[in-house]
Amino acid sequence: MGLAVREVSKSFGDIAAVRKVSLDVPPGMIYGLIGPNGAGKTTTMRMIMTILNPDRGEITWKGQPVRKVASRYFGYLPEERGLYPNMTIREQLRFFAALHGISGPGVDREIDEWIARLDLTEHATKKVEELSKGNAQKVQFVAALLHHPELLILDEPFSGLDPVNVRLLKEALVSLATQGTTILFSTHRMEHVEELCQRMALIRGGQIVVEGTVDEVRRSTGRMLLRLQVDGGRDGTVELLRSFAELPAPRHTPAGWEVEVPAGFDPQQVLRQAVATGATVTRFEVTPPSLEDVYITIMGGEAGNE
Protein backbone atom coordinates (compact mmCIF):
# COMPACT_ATOMS: atom_id res chain seq x y z
CA MET A 1 0.00 0.00 0.00
CA GLY A 2 1.59 3.24 -1.12
CA LEU A 3 0.10 6.57 -2.16
CA ALA A 4 -3.67 6.57 -2.66
CA VAL A 5 -5.38 9.65 -4.09
CA ARG A 6 -9.16 9.22 -3.94
CA GLU A 7 -11.60 11.43 -5.84
CA VAL A 8 -9.72 14.59 -4.97
CA SER A 9 -11.02 17.95 -6.19
CA LYS A 10 -9.75 21.51 -5.82
CA SER A 11 -11.11 24.79 -7.17
CA PHE A 12 -9.69 28.29 -7.13
CA GLY A 13 -12.74 30.55 -7.40
CA ASP A 14 -14.40 29.53 -10.66
CA ILE A 15 -11.47 27.45 -11.84
CA ALA A 16 -11.87 23.72 -11.21
CA ALA A 17 -8.11 22.97 -11.15
CA VAL A 18 -8.47 19.30 -10.12
CA ARG A 19 -11.64 17.28 -10.57
CA LYS A 20 -12.18 13.91 -8.91
CA VAL A 21 -8.63 12.73 -9.47
CA SER A 22 -7.84 9.21 -8.25
CA LEU A 23 -4.53 7.44 -8.58
CA ASP A 24 -2.48 4.77 -6.83
CA VAL A 25 1.29 4.67 -6.62
CA PRO A 26 2.51 1.38 -5.12
CA PRO A 27 5.73 1.47 -3.04
CA GLY A 28 8.99 1.52 -4.99
CA MET A 29 7.28 2.52 -8.22
CA ILE A 30 8.15 5.41 -10.53
CA TYR A 31 4.88 7.02 -11.62
CA GLY A 32 4.50 9.67 -14.32
CA LEU A 33 1.86 12.38 -14.36
CA ILE A 34 1.70 13.87 -17.81
CA GLY A 35 -0.43 16.63 -19.27
CA PRO A 36 -0.42 20.08 -20.86
CA ASN A 37 0.14 23.38 -19.01
CA GLY A 38 -2.65 24.09 -16.59
CA ALA A 39 -3.82 20.44 -16.48
CA GLY A 40 -3.71 20.30 -12.67
CA LYS A 41 -0.41 18.48 -12.09
CA THR A 42 1.11 21.02 -9.70
CA THR A 43 -2.15 21.43 -7.78
CA THR A 44 -2.39 17.64 -7.35
CA MET A 45 1.20 17.48 -6.09
CA ARG A 46 0.67 20.38 -3.71
CA MET A 47 -2.32 18.56 -2.22
CA ILE A 48 -0.25 15.38 -1.79
CA MET A 49 2.40 17.52 -0.04
CA THR A 50 -0.36 19.11 2.11
CA ILE A 51 0.61 22.60 0.90
CA LEU A 52 -3.00 22.85 -0.31
CA ASN A 53 -6.07 21.21 1.18
CA PRO A 54 -8.40 19.37 -1.19
CA ASP A 55 -11.99 20.67 -1.31
CA ARG A 56 -13.13 17.06 -1.51
CA GLY A 57 -11.56 13.62 -1.50
CA GLU A 58 -8.85 11.90 0.48
CA ILE A 59 -5.10 11.32 0.13
CA THR A 60 -3.29 8.64 2.14
CA TRP A 61 0.21 7.21 2.38
CA LYS A 62 0.33 3.60 3.56
CA GLY A 63 -3.18 4.07 4.86
CA GLN A 64 -2.44 7.23 6.89
CA PRO A 65 -3.84 10.66 5.95
CA VAL A 66 -1.00 12.60 4.29
CA ARG A 67 -1.30 15.51 6.73
CA LYS A 68 0.05 13.19 9.44
CA VAL A 69 3.04 11.88 7.49
CA ALA A 70 4.01 14.29 4.68
CA SER A 71 6.62 16.38 6.48
CA ARG A 72 8.50 13.35 7.75
CA TYR A 73 8.22 10.83 4.92
CA PHE A 74 7.84 12.95 1.75
CA GLY A 75 10.42 14.87 -0.25
CA TYR A 76 9.40 17.58 -2.72
CA LEU A 77 10.97 19.29 -5.68
CA PRO A 78 8.58 22.23 -6.17
CA GLU A 79 7.87 23.90 -9.49
CA GLU A 80 9.05 27.24 -8.15
CA ARG A 81 12.62 26.49 -7.14
CA GLY A 82 13.65 28.13 -3.88
CA LEU A 83 17.32 28.17 -2.89
CA TYR A 84 19.24 30.75 -0.90
CA PRO A 85 21.38 32.73 -3.36
CA ASN A 86 24.23 33.50 -0.94
CA MET A 87 24.93 29.99 0.28
CA THR A 88 27.33 27.59 -1.39
CA ILE A 89 25.98 24.25 -2.57
CA ARG A 90 27.34 22.44 0.48
CA GLU A 91 26.01 25.04 2.94
CA GLN A 92 22.66 24.94 1.23
CA LEU A 93 22.38 21.17 1.40
CA ARG A 94 23.53 21.07 5.04
CA PHE A 95 20.90 23.67 5.79
CA PHE A 96 18.09 21.64 4.19
CA ALA A 97 19.26 18.50 6.00
CA ALA A 98 19.30 20.42 9.30
CA LEU A 99 15.70 21.51 8.67
CA HIS A 100 14.87 17.82 8.87
CA GLY A 101 16.95 17.42 12.00
CA ILE A 102 19.84 15.72 10.23
CA SER A 103 23.46 16.84 10.68
CA GLY A 104 26.92 15.43 11.22
CA PRO A 105 29.56 13.54 9.26
CA GLY A 106 27.09 10.99 7.87
CA VAL A 107 25.03 13.56 6.02
CA ASP A 108 28.16 15.52 4.98
CA ARG A 109 29.46 12.37 3.33
CA GLU A 110 26.14 11.79 1.66
CA ILE A 111 26.04 15.39 0.41
CA ASP A 112 29.48 14.93 -1.14
CA GLU A 113 28.39 11.67 -2.74
CA TRP A 114 25.40 13.37 -4.35
CA ILE A 115 27.54 16.32 -5.45
CA ALA A 116 29.88 13.89 -7.22
CA ARG A 117 27.10 11.74 -8.58
CA LEU A 118 25.28 14.68 -10.15
CA ASP A 119 28.46 16.13 -11.58
CA LEU A 120 28.45 19.20 -9.32
CA THR A 121 31.94 18.80 -7.84
CA GLU A 122 33.52 21.69 -9.71
CA HIS A 123 30.70 23.96 -8.51
CA ALA A 124 30.56 22.79 -4.88
CA THR A 125 32.11 25.94 -3.44
CA LYS A 126 30.12 28.31 -5.64
CA LYS A 127 27.24 30.33 -4.33
CA VAL A 128 23.84 29.33 -5.60
CA GLU A 129 23.38 32.65 -7.39
CA GLU A 130 26.43 31.81 -9.51
CA LEU A 131 24.99 28.49 -10.68
CA SER A 132 23.31 27.81 -14.00
CA LYS A 133 19.59 27.00 -13.85
CA GLY A 134 20.22 23.30 -14.47
CA ASN A 135 22.85 23.02 -11.74
CA ALA A 136 20.65 24.88 -9.25
CA GLN A 137 17.88 22.44 -10.09
CA LYS A 138 20.12 19.46 -9.34
CA VAL A 139 21.00 21.02 -5.97
CA GLN A 140 17.33 21.42 -5.17
CA PHE A 141 16.71 17.81 -6.14
CA VAL A 142 19.37 16.66 -3.65
CA ALA A 143 17.83 18.96 -1.01
CA ALA A 144 14.54 17.08 -1.46
CA LEU A 145 15.99 13.68 -0.64
CA LEU A 146 18.63 14.11 2.10
CA HIS A 147 16.16 13.04 4.80
CA HIS A 148 15.58 9.75 2.89
CA PRO A 149 11.90 10.28 2.11
CA GLU A 150 9.77 7.24 1.36
CA LEU A 151 7.89 9.22 -1.29
CA LEU A 152 9.53 11.74 -3.63
CA ILE A 153 7.27 14.20 -5.43
CA LEU A 154 9.06 15.92 -8.30
CA ASP A 155 7.38 18.75 -10.22
CA GLU A 156 8.90 18.78 -13.71
CA PRO A 157 12.32 17.59 -12.58
CA PHE A 158 13.71 17.41 -16.14
CA SER A 159 12.69 20.87 -17.32
CA GLY A 160 15.68 23.01 -18.20
CA LEU A 161 18.22 20.16 -18.00
CA ASP A 162 20.52 19.32 -20.90
CA PRO A 163 20.60 15.70 -22.16
CA VAL A 164 23.63 14.76 -20.03
CA ASN A 165 21.93 16.03 -16.88
CA VAL A 166 18.63 14.41 -17.85
CA ARG A 167 20.55 11.13 -18.02
CA LEU A 168 22.21 11.72 -14.61
CA LEU A 169 18.86 12.50 -13.02
CA LYS A 170 17.18 9.48 -14.59
CA GLU A 171 19.93 7.22 -13.26
CA ALA A 172 19.50 8.76 -9.81
CA LEU A 173 15.72 8.15 -9.92
CA VAL A 174 16.13 4.54 -11.00
CA SER A 175 18.66 3.86 -8.24
CA LEU A 176 16.44 5.52 -5.60
CA ALA A 177 13.47 3.44 -6.78
CA THR A 178 15.59 0.28 -6.69
CA GLN A 179 16.33 1.06 -3.04
CA GLY A 180 12.59 1.33 -2.37
CA THR A 181 11.83 5.06 -2.78
CA THR A 182 8.44 5.70 -4.35
CA ILE A 183 8.56 8.47 -6.95
CA LEU A 184 5.82 10.55 -8.56
CA PHE A 185 6.92 13.10 -11.14
CA SER A 186 5.25 15.40 -13.63
CA THR A 187 6.41 16.16 -17.13
CA HIS A 188 5.30 17.33 -20.55
CA ARG A 189 7.66 14.92 -22.28
CA MET A 190 6.58 11.44 -23.22
CA GLU A 191 10.04 9.95 -23.53
CA HIS A 192 10.70 10.47 -19.81
CA VAL A 193 7.60 8.50 -18.91
CA GLU A 194 8.23 5.80 -21.50
CA GLU A 195 11.73 5.24 -20.21
CA LEU A 196 11.22 5.47 -16.45
CA CYS A 197 7.68 4.72 -15.39
CA GLN A 198 5.85 1.52 -14.60
CA ARG A 199 2.54 3.38 -14.41
CA MET A 200 1.30 6.75 -15.62
CA ALA A 201 -1.70 9.02 -15.88
CA LEU A 202 -2.66 11.45 -18.61
CA ILE A 203 -4.32 14.49 -17.07
CA ARG A 204 -6.21 17.25 -18.85
CA GLY A 205 -8.50 20.00 -17.60
CA GLY A 206 -8.08 18.75 -14.02
CA GLN A 207 -9.22 15.22 -14.85
CA ILE A 208 -7.44 11.94 -15.40
CA VAL A 209 -8.16 10.92 -18.97
CA VAL A 210 -6.36 7.59 -18.93
CA GLU A 211 -4.35 5.77 -16.28
CA GLY A 212 -2.42 2.51 -16.26
CA THR A 213 0.82 0.86 -17.28
CA VAL A 214 2.62 2.46 -20.21
CA ASP A 215 1.46 -0.45 -22.36
CA GLU A 216 -2.17 -0.09 -21.24
CA VAL A 217 -2.08 3.63 -22.05
CA ARG A 218 -0.57 2.91 -25.47
CA ARG A 219 -3.43 0.47 -26.14
CA SER A 220 -6.13 2.71 -24.68
CA THR A 221 -7.19 4.33 -27.95
CA GLY A 222 -7.83 0.95 -29.59
CA ARG A 223 -5.72 2.04 -32.57
CA MET A 224 -3.19 -0.42 -34.01
CA LEU A 225 -0.45 0.20 -36.54
CA LEU A 226 0.98 -2.20 -39.07
CA ARG A 227 4.65 -1.71 -39.94
CA LEU A 228 5.89 -3.48 -43.01
CA GLN A 229 9.00 -3.65 -45.11
CA VAL A 230 9.52 -6.07 -47.96
CA ASP A 231 12.68 -6.46 -49.98
CA GLY A 232 12.75 -4.40 -53.09
CA GLY A 233 12.46 -1.11 -51.24
CA ARG A 234 9.75 1.47 -51.30
CA ASP A 235 7.75 0.42 -54.34
CA GLY A 236 7.22 -3.20 -53.37
CA THR A 237 6.05 -2.33 -49.85
CA VAL A 238 3.76 0.49 -50.91
CA GLU A 239 2.31 -1.50 -53.78
CA LEU A 240 1.52 -4.42 -51.51
CA LEU A 241 -0.18 -2.20 -48.92
CA ARG A 242 -2.14 -0.34 -51.60
CA SER A 243 -3.47 -3.63 -52.94
CA PHE A 244 -5.73 -3.75 -49.85
CA ALA A 245 -8.56 -1.35 -50.54
CA GLU A 246 -9.54 -1.26 -46.84
CA LEU A 247 -6.17 0.18 -45.78
CA PRO A 248 -5.57 3.94 -45.69
CA ALA A 249 -2.51 5.42 -47.43
CA PRO A 250 0.75 4.21 -45.85
CA ARG A 251 3.27 6.70 -44.48
CA HIS A 252 7.00 6.41 -44.27
CA THR A 253 8.49 6.56 -40.77
CA PRO A 254 11.98 5.88 -39.40
CA ALA A 255 10.63 2.43 -38.50
CA GLY A 256 9.61 1.67 -42.10
CA TRP A 257 6.22 1.90 -43.83
CA GLU A 258 3.35 2.26 -41.45
CA VAL A 259 -0.38 2.08 -41.89
CA GLU A 260 -3.31 2.36 -39.49
CA VAL A 261 -5.17 -0.95 -39.16
CA PRO A 262 -8.91 -0.36 -39.57
CA ALA A 263 -11.33 -2.10 -37.17
CA GLY A 264 -12.09 -5.65 -38.34
CA PHE A 265 -9.09 -5.85 -40.68
CA ASP A 266 -6.79 -8.83 -40.04
CA PRO A 267 -3.20 -7.64 -40.61
CA GLN A 268 -2.03 -11.24 -41.03
CA GLN A 269 -3.59 -11.27 -44.50
CA VAL A 270 -0.97 -8.70 -45.56
CA LEU A 271 1.78 -11.07 -44.44
CA ARG A 272 0.15 -14.02 -46.23
CA GLN A 273 -0.18 -11.96 -49.40
CA ALA A 274 3.47 -10.85 -49.20
CA VAL A 275 4.64 -14.43 -48.83
CA ALA A 276 2.32 -15.59 -51.62
CA THR A 277 3.88 -13.09 -54.02
CA GLY A 278 7.35 -14.43 -53.18
CA ALA A 279 8.50 -11.20 -51.45
CA THR A 280 11.05 -11.32 -48.65
CA VAL A 281 9.54 -9.69 -45.58
CA THR A 282 12.20 -7.84 -43.56
CA ARG A 283 9.77 -6.23 -41.11
CA PHE A 284 6.25 -7.12 -40.06
CA GLU A 285 4.94 -5.64 -36.85
CA VAL A 286 1.49 -4.96 -35.42
CA THR A 287 1.81 -2.48 -32.58
CA PRO A 288 -0.18 0.11 -30.63
CA PRO A 289 0.82 3.72 -31.34
CA SER A 290 3.67 5.34 -29.41
CA LEU A 291 2.90 7.19 -26.21
CA GLU A 292 3.52 10.43 -28.08
CA ASP A 293 0.91 9.48 -30.71
CA VAL A 294 -1.57 8.55 -27.99
CA TYR A 295 -0.96 11.86 -26.22
CA ILE A 296 -1.62 13.80 -29.41
CA THR A 297 -4.74 11.71 -30.21
CA ILE A 298 -6.15 12.20 -26.71
CA MET A 299 -5.13 15.81 -26.20
CA GLY A 300 -6.16 16.67 -29.76
CA GLY A 301 -3.07 18.81 -30.21
CA GLU A 302 -4.12 20.86 -27.17
CA ALA A 303 -1.34 23.18 -26.12
CA GLY A 304 -2.67 23.84 -22.63
CA ASN A 305 -4.80 26.58 -21.15
CA GLU A 306 -2.15 28.80 -19.68
Give the binding site for ligand ATP (CB under 6 A). Answer: 12, 15, 17, 35, 37-43, 79, 305-306
The nearer residue to ligand ATP, 66 or 93, going by C-beta atoms, is 66
Neighbour-count burial of 113, counting CB atoms closer than 10 A to its CB (0-12 exposed, 13-18 middle, 19+ buried): exposed
The nearer residue to ligand ATP, 198 or 207, going by C-beta atoms, is 207
Q: Which backbone phi and psi does 173 adopt, to 5 degrees? A: -65, -45
User: Least distance from C-beta 293 to ligand ATP, angstroms?
Assistant: 21
The nearer residue to ligand ATP, 15 or 255, going by C-beta atoms, is 15
User: Least distance from C-beta 156 to ligand ATP, angstroms?
Assistant: 7
Provide DSSP, the chain: --EEEEEEEEEETTEEEEEEEEEEE-TT-EEEEE--BTSSHHHHHHHHTTSS--SEEEEEETTEEHHHHHHHHEEEE-SS----TTSBHHHHHHHHHHHTT--SHHHHHHHHHHHHHTT-GGGTTSBGGGS-HHHHHHHHHHHHHTT--SEEEESSTTTT--HHHHHHHHHHHHHHHHTT-EEEEEES-HHHHHHH-SEEEEEETTEEEEEEEHHHHHHTT---EEEEEETTHHHHHHHHHHT-TTS---EEETTEEEEEPPTT--THHHHHHHHHTTPPEEEEEEEPPPHHHHHHHHHTT--B--
User: Least distance from C-beta 149 to ligand ATP, angstroms?
Assistant: 21
The nearer residue to ligand ATP, 201 or 261, going by C-beta atoms, is 201
User: Least distance from C-beta 201 to ligand ATP, angstroms?
Assistant: 12
Single out the residue of 239, 226, 224 nearest to residue 279, CA to CA: 239
Name 246's Cβ contacts closer than 8 Å, sequence gap at least 6.
262, 265
The nearer residue to ligand ATP, 33 or 247, going by C-beta atoms, is 33
User: Least distance from C-beta 306 to ligand ATP, angstroms?
Assistant: 5
User: Least distance from C-beta 9 to ligand ATP, angstroms?
Assistant: 12
The nearer residue to ligand ATP, 21 or 225, going by C-beta atoms, is 21
The nearer residue to ligand ATP, 47 or 115, going by C-beta atoms, is 47
User: Least distance from C-beta 262 to ligand ATP, angstroms?
Assistant: 35
User: Least distance from C-beta 118 to ligand ATP, angstroms?
Assistant: 23
The nearer residue to ligand ATP, 147 or 204, going by C-beta atoms, is 204
Name 83's Cβ contacts closer than 8 Å, sequence gap at least 6.
92, 128, 136, 139, 140, 143
The nearer residue to ligand ATP, 38 or 149, going by C-beta atoms, is 38
User: Least distance from C-beta 188 to ligand ATP, angstroms?
Assistant: 6
